[in-house]
Amino acid sequence: MITLEQVAKSYQHQYDALAPLSLEIAAGEFVVLLGSSGSGKSTLLKLINRLLEPDQGEIRLQGRPVRDYDPVSLRRNIGYVFQGIGLLPHWSVVDNVLTVPRLRGDDEDESYQQAFDWLDRVQLDAKRYAQRMPDELSGGQQQRVGVARALASGADLLLMDEPFGALDAITRDELQGMLKALQQSLNKTIVFVTHDLFEAIRLADRIVVLHQGKIEQVGSARELINEPATPFVENLFSKPLQALDDLRLR
């Protein structure tokens, strides 16, 4: 579905730059980009929907280079969930969910019905919350709306930039469960950025470990833990796991 070929992006300040790297993401796959801040994981995500343009290399979506797409319509057909909440504060919940269908000029009545369905799917009581304003909702509820908004575009591909980073542990756990279930039942392709090791392990079909703009290793959680390709990956997983083991033994 997505192919990155020798893609590089540099900044004057080096932070969040990408060395030339290649990556293949299949349809229906849940891929997590794992790395610390400045590793280039957000840069990589933003190259896919042309929020950033690469210095070199090519990104293809469904076999077609993204630079051949009109950036606006490209973005309207890719769901995006933000690190901050990113809801428009002057619009009600249902208006936020309807953002992209309205930008595209979709049929209003139909979109409106679907918006209620999407709210139900992210387990938010549509009848109760549809007309509320974002600031009347908890952080977890707001991010459910964020996910519903991304799904309401009808996109097969969702880009998620540390969406649960600002939530408390319990709420984050609920949303992770909900997201994984939705992804499997709807068969969406998701590229998900996080610095949280356990979030990556829980959600990913495949994890891409990024460090200083380079891919350290790509693989399932099991592969990364059992067959680390580099000392960085080994370190990344062994220390927290060791800590857990220590607790269990005690």
Partner 1 sequence: MNQLFAFLIERGPALIEKLVQHFVLTAGSTGIAIIIGLTIGILLSRRPAAQGPVMAVINALQTIPSLAMLAILLPLFGIGTLPALIALTLYALLPIVRNTLTGIDGLPADVLEACQALGFTERQRLIQVELPLALPTIMAGIRTAAVISVGVATLAAFIGAGGLGDFIVRGLAVNNNALVLLGAVPAALLALALDRLLYIVQRRLERRRNQAGASTHPFKRNPVALGVAAILSAALLIGLFAWHMAGDARPTIRVASKNFTEQYILAELMAQMLERHTDHAVERKLSLGSVHVVHNAMIQGEVDVYPEYTGTAWRAILGQQQTLDSATTFDRVQQAYRNQYDLDWLPAFGYENTYAILVTAELARTHDLQVISDIERIAPELVMGFASEFYERADGFPALRDTYGLDFADTAEMDIGLLYQALREGRIDVAAGTSTDGRIPTYDLVMLTDDRGFFPPYDAAPVIRRGLSQTQPDVVAILQRLSGQIDATAMREMNRQVDQEQRSAASVANEFLRNKGLLEPRIDR
Choosing from 9, 41, 75, 144, the residue that interacts with partner 1 (CB under 8 A) is 75
DSSP run (H or E) holding 4: strand 2-9
Q: Closest CB to partner 1 among 161 and 216?
A: 161
Nearest distance, CB of residue 5 and partner 1, angstroms: 23
Choosing from 53, 108, 110, 168, the residue that interacts with partner 1 (CB under 8 A) is 108
Between CA 80 and CA 157 the distance in angstroms is 9
Q: Which stretch binds partner 1 (CB under 8 A): 61-69, 91-99, 180-188, 191-199?
A: 91-99
The residues with which 21 forms a beta bridge, in sequence order, are: 7
Nearest distance, CB of residue 69 and partner 1, angstroms: 11
* Angle ∠(81,84,90) on CA atoms, nearest 5: 90
Q: Closest CB to partner 1 among 152 and 215?
A: 152
Number of H-type helices and E-type strands within the chain: 11, 10
Choosing from 42, 43, 92, 142, the residue that interacts with partner 1 (CB under 8 A) is 92
Choosing from 7, 16, 25, 95, the residue that interacts with partner 1 (CB under 8 A) is 95
- Is 45:34 a contact under the CB 8 Å cutoff? no
Q: Does the footprint of partner 1 cover residue 21 (CB under 8 A)?
A: no
Q: Which residues 219-248 are close enough to bind partner 1 by CB under 8 A?
A: none
Q: Does the footprint of partner 1 cover residue 6 (CB under 8 A)?
A: no
Which of 237, 161, 218, 223 lies closest to 26, judged by CA? 218
Q: Which stretch binds partner 1 (CB under 8 A): 32-40, 88-96, 178-186, 212-220?
A: 88-96
The residues with which 54 forms a beta bridge, in sequence order, are: none
Between CA 3 and CA 131 the distance in angstroms is 40
Half-sphere exposure of 118 (CA within 13 A, CB side): 26
- Is 219:212 a contact under the CB 8 Å cutoff? no
Q: Which residues 118-157 are close enough to bind partner 1 by CB under 8 A?
A: 130-131, 133, 149
Q: Does the footprint of partner 1 cover residue 69 (CB under 8 A)?
A: no
Q: Does the footprint of partner 1 cover residue 113 (CB under 8 A)?
A: no
Q: Which residues 27-66 are close enough to bind partner 1 by CB under 8 A?
A: 49, 51
Which of 192, 164, 200 lies closest to 83, judged by CA? 164
Choosing from 6, 36, 37, 73, the residue that interacts with partner 1 (CB under 8 A) is 73
Place of tokens 């400045």: 38
Give the tokens for residue 80: 């995006």
Q: Does the footprint of partner 1 cover residue 190 (CB under 8 A)?
A: no
Note the residues at the interface with partner 1 (CB under 8 A). 49, 51, 72-77, 80, 82, 84, 86-95, 98-100, 103-104, 108, 130-131, 133, 149
